[in-house]
Every structure is written in structure tokens, then in C-alpha cells.
Amino acid sequence: MDTIIQGKAYVLGKNIDTDQIIPAEHLVYSLSNPEEVKLYGKYALSGVPTEQGGLPQGNIPFVEEGNFTSPYTIIVAGPNFGCGSSREHAPFALKVAGAKAIIAESYARIFYRNCVDGGFVIPYETTKPLNKSILTGDELSLDMEKNTLTNLTQNVTYELRPLGDVVNIVQAGGIFEYARKNNLMASSQEA
């Protein structure tokens, strides 16, 4: 199991809701057709408003025009990330776009569960508003054994709240895969 995630930061504000993460007009694509699945990545975070500091300084898009994936693998946000509707498509879209982890002050409960249960992205919590000190494009290293986030660009390390088995569940591919791999439920061959 890889315990380090390294990549560029994408910094957002507070109260990023699921309609900003994947706008409702993009919920029409198939979740099983590979060509349509790519569109979830293309439109991930496309609903974040450019006014009032919604997008990072300079209005940097998460996914560049014409691309299906993002150069940013770690999202850093304020409190209440994933608020709004309970759609599973939101963390799914972030995963398809290439996000591996989110570091936020807090999460909407259902969004957090969807991240973990579906094995989409790792939702870490911080006690400090890291979106005030980390900049979009900073190179970050997330150490899941030590529960630390290091800003390699600024040479600063932050403590994160421990996740326990959440990391293992996400890395297994979701709650059902985790249960199967750990003999907590019957495999499909035994059923």
C-alpha cells in the first residue's frame, strides 16, 4: 500500500457544494461507459464561481479546456466541503479528474461517506485553515502513515487528523471491496 501522495495543490474556499463539484447538467453521463466517464473528470469543479474568490487566485480552472484530467492531485479547502445534495457523482468526478485526496477543515457528512464508501478520494481533515497559506500549484506531499501534509514549495509541514481505516477502505476501492479483501463478507463466488 502506497502511503505517500505527492502532487500539486488546488486551493478552494469554504462551502464548496456538490453542484459546484459536478453541476447537475453533467449528471447525464453513464457511470459505466468509459468514454462518458471521462466527461465527469472534464467537468469536475466546473461549477465553482469565479466571483467572490471561488476559484484560486487568477481564476485557474481545475481541468484545463480540452482536457479530461487535472494537473492537481490534492485539493485544499475550507470548511463544509461537499455540502448540498448527497450525489455520489461528486467524489467520483474528482477521482476521474485525477484527485487523490482532499484536505479540508470539515466535510458534509454524506459527501465524506461517499468519498470513503465508494473508494473515490481520501478526505483528510485539518484543524487549521490551510487554504489561507497553501497556494494553488504548490507541490505537496501527504504522508498517510504520519498524518502530515508537507508543502514542499514552502518547506512547511502540517499535522492532520488521523483517518484510521478510512485510508485502507479508499485504497481497497470502497467499503465492499475492503470487506471482501478482509473476509468481512462473502465474495461473489461464494454467494
Does residue 126 have a pLDDT over 80?
Answer: yes
pLDDT tens digits along 52-98: 455 566 678 999 999 999 999 999 999 999 998 878 899 999 999 99
For 136-159, the pLDDT digits (tens) are: 999 999 999 999 999 999 999 999
- Report how far residue 168's alpha carbon sits from residue 1's, in angstroms, rounded to the nearest whole number: 8
The confidence score (pLDDT) of residue 187 equals: 55
Confidence of residue 174 (pLDDT cuts 50, 70, 90): confident
Q: Which of 118, 145, 174 is nearest to 1 (CA)?
A: 145
List domains and CATH numbers for the chain.
4-163 (3.20.19.10)
Under the banding of pLDDT at 50, 70 and 90, the label for residue 172 is: confident
Q: What is the pLDDT of residue 57?
A: 65
* Phi, psi angle pair for 81, to nearest 5°: -70, 135
Could you tell me which of 161, 89, 102 has the C-alpha nearest to residue 127?
Answer: 161
Amino acid at residue number 182: N
